[in-house]
Amino acid sequence: MIDTLLSVWRSKDLRKKIFFTISILVFIRFVAHIPLPQIDRAQLETFLSQSENQIFNVLGMFTGGSLSNLSIDLMGVGPYITASIVVQLLTKVIPAWENISKDGSQGREKLNRYTRYLTVPMAIIQGFGTVSLLKSQQVLPFLTTMELAQILITITATSVFVMWLGELISEKGLGNGISMIIALGIIAGLPQQIANTASVVESGDYTSLAILIAIFLGSIILIVFMNEAERRIPITYARRALGAGSKVDSYLPLKVNSAGVIPIIFALSFLTFPAIIARFLSTNTNERVQSISQAVTDFVNNQTYYGILYAVLVVVFAFFYTFIVFQPEQISDNLQKQGSFIPGVRPGSETTQFIKQTLIRLTTIGSVFLAAIVVVPFMVEQKANLQTLALGGTSILIIVSVIIETSRAINAQLIMRKYDTL
């Protein structure tokens, strides 16, 4: 450990990357504490403390307190995540976009550009819904058209700016910038979670505290194990240079949890967006619109229904994202072009089918694991009445995954510099 830290410190480039990443994250936290003007703090705290506003507490945690502070970074990276979901869904619907996605790094960059463009209208829609809802709850005063436009421009520009900072971290810093920003927001909410846990200790409920600690430690162990678990498919390369019949063996690694934390982040975005719109439409004068918005709000606030839908969405997005990242047909074609094959499996369609079936089995295990991570805290909270477990499993998964991903990025940089010196 000490040797690794010394190696990091000796590497000037790596040291710059780390300081650059930390500086950007600190600046983002500073932005998250710049409030919008004319806020009724007392009314805001009352509104967010209501039990039916669970979805806003969830959103507030993932924006690092920006929502509870009503800062200019009101939406965080939420619009960018929503835009990513829409673009990836459209990739499977629009043939031209699907062809773009198969065009290697250039295609991915083009789709990323579409995602950035779509982030702007998504930020405007989400910002307008949130601001209108807060106005209806007297958290914000009456706003003229010009004042509303100024607020929407501010929070949209800030959301796009934070998205850009996240991409700067990915490009010039260490790790995935967007994931690190989300993890930073969760970490920012830890003091409040610790305070809630301290209240459990003060009440003398040591049984609940023991359950909380056991779940916390068990979750970390399980998350690390599942993140490292992989299936290694043997690959045989026929080397002409070594003569006929000579072979070089390797393997194709397929992770059990190939999608990482992306399905959970996508599921949360998918749940929060309709909930915000429903709360906004609850003030509509049309009775049918009010009834629909109330039904959506009641559904989201029902712990059982919310947990089931959350788990189902996580499973769906796990399969969806895995088969976007790993395309069996493309992998099979690449193996065939390289003159390699899977022992016992014919090249071509049989290889494609073998890889697809293997991915389905692995993703089934990984998606059930992710679903359990998000559902178990809801079950324990209902049985043991532990309010400190709000988003516990999800938070731990995101934080641990980001730490593992960042440590891998550091190790990769160290290995690269070690080879450069040889």
Instruction: Tell me which residue has tokens 């601001």.
Output: 131
Is residue 325 within 8 Å of residue 259, measured between CB atoms?
Answer: yes
* Whole-number average pLDDT of the chain: 77
Confidence grade of residue 157 (pLDDT, cut at 50, 70, 90): very high
Instruction: Give the pLDDT mean for 239-257.
Output: 65
d(CA 97, CA 92): 8
Q: Residue 79's closest CA among 184, 157, 145, 194?
A: 157
Q: With a cut of 60, say whether residue 390 has pLDDT above it.
A: no
Question: What pLDDT was estimated at residue 241?
Answer: 40
Query: Which pLDDT score is estimated for 96?
Result: 84
pLDDT given for residue 23 in this prediction: 92
pLDDT exceeds cutoff 80 at 393: no
Q: Which residue has the higher pLDDT, 154 or 417?
A: 154
Q: Which of 102-111, 143-152, 203-212, 220-229 has the lowest mean pLDDT?
A: 203-212
pTM: 0.76
Average pLDDT of 346-352? 86
Evaluate if residue 355 carries a pLDDT over 80.
yes
Question: 3-class secondary structure for the chain?
Answer: CHHHHHHHHHCHHHHHHHHHHHHHHHHHHHHCCCECCCCCHHHHHHHHHCHHHHHHHHHHHHCCCHHHHCECCCCCCHHHHHHHHHHHHHHHHCHHHHHHHCCHHHHHHHHHHHHHHHHHHHHHHHHHHHHHHHHHCCCCCCCCHHHHHHHHHHHHHHHHHHHHHHHHHHHHCCCCHHHHHHHHHHHHCHHHHHHHHHHHHHCCCHHHHHHHHHHHHHHHHHHHHHHHCEEEEEEEEECHHHCCCCEEEEEEEEECCCCCCHHHHHHHHHHHHHHHHHHHHCCCCCHHHHHHHHHHHHHHHCHHHHHHHHHHHHHHHHHHHHHHHCCHHHHHHHHHHCCEECCCCCCCHHHHHHHHHHHHHHHHHHHHHHHHHHHHHHHHHHHHCCHHHCCHHHHHHHHHHHHHHHHHHHHHHHHHHHHHHC
Over residues 274-297, mean pLDDT:
72
Give the least confident one: 137-141, 175-179, 264-268. Answer: 137-141
Residues 14 and 30: their CA atoms lie apart, in Å, by 25
Q: Is 391 left (phi over 0), alpha (psi -120 to 50) or beta?
A: left
Q: What percent of the chain has pLDDT over 90?
A: 6
- Cβ neighbors of 18 (< 8 A, separation 6 or more) are 8, 173, 174, 410
pLDDT for residue 76: 81
Q: What is the mean pLDDT of residues 293-313?
A: 77
- Return the pLDDT at 129: 76
Which among 52-56, 89-93, 387-391 has the top mean pLDDT?
89-93
Structural domains in the chain plus CATH codes: 21-188 (1.10.3370.10), 192-422 (1.10.3370.10)
Distances (CA, A) of 175 to 167, 228, 405: 10, 17, 6
- 399 pLDDT more than 70: yes
* Residue 338: pLDDT band with limits 50, 70, 90: confident
164 pLDDT band (50/70/90 cuts)? very high
pLDDT digit string, tens, across residues 307-316 = 788 888 889 9
Task: Give 18-44 pLDDT, tens digit per residue.
Answer: 889 899 989 988 888 887 776 666 666
- Per residue in 47-83, pLDDT (tens digit) is 655 544 555 655 665 565 566 667 888 888 888 888 8
